[in-house]
Structure 1
Amino acid sequence: MSPALPDGDEAPDDGALPSSVVAGADGRAFGVYLHVPFCTVRCGYCDFNTYTSVELGGGASQASYASTARREVDLAARVLRDAGLPARPVSTVFVGGGTPTVLPADDLVGMLAAVRDAWGLSDDVEVTTEANPDSVTPDSLAALAAGGFTRVSFGMQSAVGHVLRTLERTHDPARIPDVVRWAREAGLDVSLDLIYGTPGESLEDWRRSLEGALATGVDHVSAYALVVEAGTRMAAQVRRGELALPDGDDQAAKYELADDLLTSAGLHWYEVSNWARGAQHACRHNLAYWRGDDWWGIGPGAHSHVGGVRWWNVKHPRAYAARLEQGLSPAAGREVLDDEAAALERLMLHVRLAGGMPLAEMTSDERERVAVLVADGLVDGRVLLAERRLVLTRRGRLLADLAVRTLAGFGG
């Protein structure tokens, strides 16, 4: 069960944007997210907008999906042009899902070509696709690289068999070194995604996963604490007592172990859950989200943000395809951020980055609350004094949500 769409205002059928989006556009990068809503198996913990049926009807099949997505690319190009936005080449493209690589490589390359035709790509464009380890071959990865992809993010999740079975992942962990090698031989940068805090996972299991990821020599690792969302199969298993969730101390110990091992291997945190071997290996597309740049999300359930206007598409692939076939925007709703909401969002996102938040960009009330966070060991006092920036300590990263609530005046 994927999450409900947010509440918001009605979105216009033609997708038109207000003239306010033009202000400051020259100073914002522009990226494109392409959502592929298909998986071969739906994992028990997953609440993403994904579907396992090959044929959903109404123009929503895997076979026709690439051409359907291209229709939204064409609509997006028209909407941005009609809004008066300056021509900006796309700086980052991220293909997510679902499992994008259940589609043929030619389809993914074709969707990228549509983006290139609509806006052009910057000379140093970053183009990433997510992939499951059992959804690629040496030939498919080579085809992606030849078609313009620069990066692949594999959903490794764990190196331990019983953990993968609990997560209902289908790949053999022994395949990870092979897919990393194939991707690198094709000329692609590689990231590995890990999950910690799975029911039944010991600290040694987690160490084994981290060491397995590092043994491949990758330059980027994402490590996320498992969150069991309401409505998922795993949530039902927990409710029935079939699975027991770890406590907060267990998750904190696993985060600290990840930070220790990854840092020792030369990968340094640049966002609370992401580590890279230097700035050139950080995921620039995700950084664009965290920095409040512009992006258009293509696909059912995809979210977009341009100039303080945020909108989201209808969720079901059949409804998505039907609206595009009628020449309508697939947007289901939208909101225009006022100055207060935009400032709060900027605070929430920038505090999570290693670069932190400049004190000069904070309100006087927020600056007054920083002293509490320094006293509690959540903010690095030395960086604060020397560089006038708020940067979280490791303890602060573990309690990032608390730090943001405190700064925003929402209490502890």
Structure 2
Amino acid sequence: MFEVYIHVPFCMRRCGYCDFNTYTALDLGAGASRGNYANMVIREMQLIRDWQRKHGIEEPPVSTVFFGGGTPTILSADDLVAMLDAIRKTWGIDPDAEITTEANPDTVNEYYLGKLADGGFTRISFGMQSAVPHVLRTLDRTHTPANVESGVQAANKFGLRSSVDLIYGAPGESLDDWRTSVRTAIDLGVNHISAYALTVEPTTKMGRQIAAGTLPKPDDDDEATKYEIADDLFTAAGLQWYEVSNWARPGYESRHNLGYWRNVDWAGLGPGAHSHYGHAIDDDTPSDAQHGLRSWDIAHPRLWGMAINEHRVPWEGNETITPGENLEELIMLGLRLREGLDVDGLNHAIDRCQTASGHLRSITPSDLSAMADDGLIEMPMIMDRVVPTRRGRLLNDALIERFFDLIGV
């Protein structure tokens, strides 16, 4: 598989909890403006494709495309379609590809969504966050629950799949508020829902308010209870968890996000976007000492634009992925998925690392039995996959650390 992610760094306003690489200015310099952004991304595509050819990388046609941000739908529908058309010309797109854009519910209407559907998009991910007005105000969101419903209905009209994102743990959100949001999302009839715990960064408006004592700090126990409420209600409605923070009806999982968690290759375009290549790159590093390459674009749009104008791949940096780093990623990513961590694959990766480290140990059935006794993983009939229980999902960081300790990384 090969995926493309396009980061759109523009927003109408900055939400108080957000620390993403986003900007409210119309023009950030060097061609990185809202009106010219699609042209800049298309130019970056060609630079990346030239880099791939130079390093002997031939990818299959793109299997998924995801426009994230920021607010991708702050751009015109024609701009989003133009970037999608350029991907098709640059790499090709699989006939069954999943093409998604994130959307703030108050930035799209029926006409806009119709143009996306005509242009080849298949899926819309609406940033719902909450169905409770006072929670939306706390999060600095400008849309209303009615915006979400009308957006989903319009998407349905054009055959677009819809997903909605929720955030739990906002200051002042009660358990009943959260139940209202979850039930409202379910009642929309969508086949995919994401639910993320609020993360408060100290440099954000909300972080400063919490530090000053004007807003209460999110509570871990409260967030755990809300996760359990969501899991129960989603499951009862026929949506199964397939990743720690994502639920879907069978066949409606986000293929793009599954690609990240399965460590496939992807090209990230736009300021701050990350890329990943899982096979050895043709450079000066011995092939047995690396597993691939990870890179990240320059974060500031003006500097990113300057690099493109100078015909340079606009990377701020890159690093090779060693077998040891690949081993850690296998554990971290696999333990987030319902399909589970492949134990044989993990032990094979451990064997690859032994020549360099000499002190790692493989995972044994007794190790898995002990974690199952602690309620962290399901006890498989055959010891080939490690699947976290709900307790294991709530304590996912601790479960990952347990694996690291067992194998000795």
Q: How does the TM-score come out when normalised to structure 2?
A: 0.91
Preserved CA contact (<8 Å) 1:194 1:223: yes
**Off by >6 Å, runs of 4+ in structure 1:** none
Preserved CA contact (<8 Å) 2:338 2:388: yes
Alignment partner, residue 44 of structure 2: 72
> Which is worse superposed, 309-318 or 352-361?
352-361
> Which is worse superposed, 138-147 or 360-369?
360-369
State which of 367, 370, 378 in structure 1 corresponds to 2:368: 370
3-state SS of the aligned residue for 1:205?
Answer: helix
| Structural mapping, 1:163-312, within 5 Å | 163-278=135-250, 280-307=251-278, 308-312=292-296
Q: CA deviation at 1:86?
A: 2.7
Alignment partner, residue 390 of structure 1: 386
Q: How does the TM-score come out when normalised to structure 1?
A: 0.90
> Which is worse superposed, 349-358 or 402-411?
402-411
Preserved CA contact (<8 Å) 1:369 1:407: no
Preserved CA contact (<8 Å) 2:334 2:342: no
Distance between the aligned counterparts of 1:86 and 1:73, measured in 2?
14
Q: CA deviation at 1:77?
A: 1.4
Q: CA deviation at 1:376?
A: 1.4
3-state SS of the aligned residue for 1:409?
Answer: helix
Q: CA deviation at 1:82?
A: 2.1
RMSD: 1.3
Distance between the aligned counterparts of 1:388 and 1:97, measured in 2?
37
3-state SS of the aligned residue for 2:35?
Answer: helix
Distance between the aligned counterparts of 1:378 and 1:284, measured in 2?
26
For 1:352, give the aligned amino acid.
R
Preserved CA contact (<8 Å) 1:370 1:407: no
Q: CA deviation at 1:360?
A: 1.4
Encode CA deviations 1:100-132: one digit per residue, 9 max, x unaligned. 000000000000011000011001100000000
Q: CA deviation at 1:369?
A: 3.8
Preserved CA contact (<8 Å) 1:192 1:220: yes
Q: CA deviation at 1:205?
A: 0.2
Alignment partner, residue 334 of structure 1: 318
Preserved CA contact (<8 Å) 1:145 1:188: yes
Q: CA deviation at 1:387?
A: 5.2
State which of 32, 57, 75 in structure 1 corresponds to 2:4: 32
Preserved CA contact (<8 Å) 1:197 1:245: no
For 1:113, give the aligned amino acid.
D
Distance between the aligned counterparts of 1:123 and 1:174, measured in 2?
34
| Structural mapping, 1:319-330, within 5 Å | 319-330=303-314
For 2:14, give the aligned amino acid.
R
Alignment partner, residue 97 of structure 2: 125
3-state SS of the aligned residue for 2:147?
Answer: helix
Q: CA deviation at 1:305?
A: 0.4
State which of 393, 399, 406 in structure 1 corresponds to 2:402: 406
Distance between the aligned counterparts of 2:370 and 2:404, measured in 1?
12
Question: How high is the sequence identity, in percent, across the aligned residues?
Answer: 52
3-state SS of the aligned residue for 2:141?
Answer: coil
Alignment partner, residue 361 of structure 1: 345
State which of 22, 25, 44 in structure 2 corresponds to 1:50: 22
Aligned length: 380
State which of 41, 45, 68 in structure 2 corresponds to 1:96: 68
Q: CA deviation at 1:172?
A: 1.2
For 2:6, give the aligned amino acid.
L
3-state SS of the aligned residue for 1:386?
Answer: coil
